[in-house]
């Protein structure tokens, strides 16, 4: 592989990793916003965050496919039997002007993914806790709710099942 083509391949990979890094940073911010919205029980904010996260995930999928194709090109150019790992990519780039940039991007992206995993785990625990609280409240309402309805004789019967509204749970 000539040096210009090699530099071009590493430049494309570096741009791709940089874009992924930016996306994961935004995803991390959105996940933190989601946690705050869940804590406030702000359904419209949650819906907005989820919508933006879905858009970012689609873009991340596109970038990952692009990265995979670029890695396949690099693997073929270096006669590798499979796609190179991050460490292998760094070693391949070591003799180029992209070595430091690649290392920085790979380390940064790895750190972002770990942070995102941590925040998403915290969010999942918060959502699970919220669901348990809602379930407890709903059970309390169902236990103590008595729907008044009219009897055939014209009086009010107090010992009826709660309203159908309470029979459905999210």
Instruction: Encode the chain (170 residues) as per-residue pLDDT tens digits.
Output: 555 656 678 889 999 999 999 999 999 999 999 999 988 889 899 999 999 999 999 999 999 999 999 999 888 888 888 888 888 887 888 777 888 888 899 899 999 999 999 999 998 998 898 888 888 888 887 776 655 565 667 666 555 555 554 554 44
CATH number (domain holding residue 75): 1.20.58.300
Distance between CA atoms of residues 144 and 139, nearest Å: 9
Q: How many distinct structural domains can be found in the chain?
A: 1
- What Cα–Cα distance (Å) separates residue 110 from each residue in 25, 53, 117, 157? 11, 19, 11, 64
**Alpha helix locations (H) across the chain?**
3-40, 43-77, 86-93, 99-144
Model's pTM, two decimal places?
0.70
User: Domain range for residue 67?
Assistant: 3-167
Q: What is the dihedral of CA 80, 103, 57, 11, to 10 degrees?
A: -70
**Phi, psi for 31 (deg, rounded to 5):** -65, -35
């Amino acid at each position: 592989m000539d040096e210009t083509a090699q530099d071009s391949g590493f430049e494309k990979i570096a741009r791709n990793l940089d874009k992924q890094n930016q996306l994961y940073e935004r995803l991390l911010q959105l996940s933190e916003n989601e946690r705050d919205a869940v804590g406030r029980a702000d359904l419209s904010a949650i819906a907005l965050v989820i919508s933006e996260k879905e858009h970012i995930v689609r873009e991340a999928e596109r970038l990952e496919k692009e990265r995979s194709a670029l890695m396949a090109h690099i693997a073929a150019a270096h006669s590798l039997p499979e796609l190179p790992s991050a460490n292998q990519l760094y070693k391949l780039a070591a003799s180029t002007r992209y070595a430091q940039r690649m290392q920085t991007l790979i380390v940064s992206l790895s750190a972002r993914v770990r942070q995102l995993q941590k925040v998403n785990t915290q969010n999942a625990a918060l959502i699970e806790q919220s669901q348990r609280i809602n379930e407890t409240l709903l059970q309390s309402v169902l236990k103590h709710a008595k729907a008044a309805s009219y009897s055939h004789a014209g009086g009010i019967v107090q010992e009826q099942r709660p309203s159908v509204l309470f029979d459905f749970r999210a």
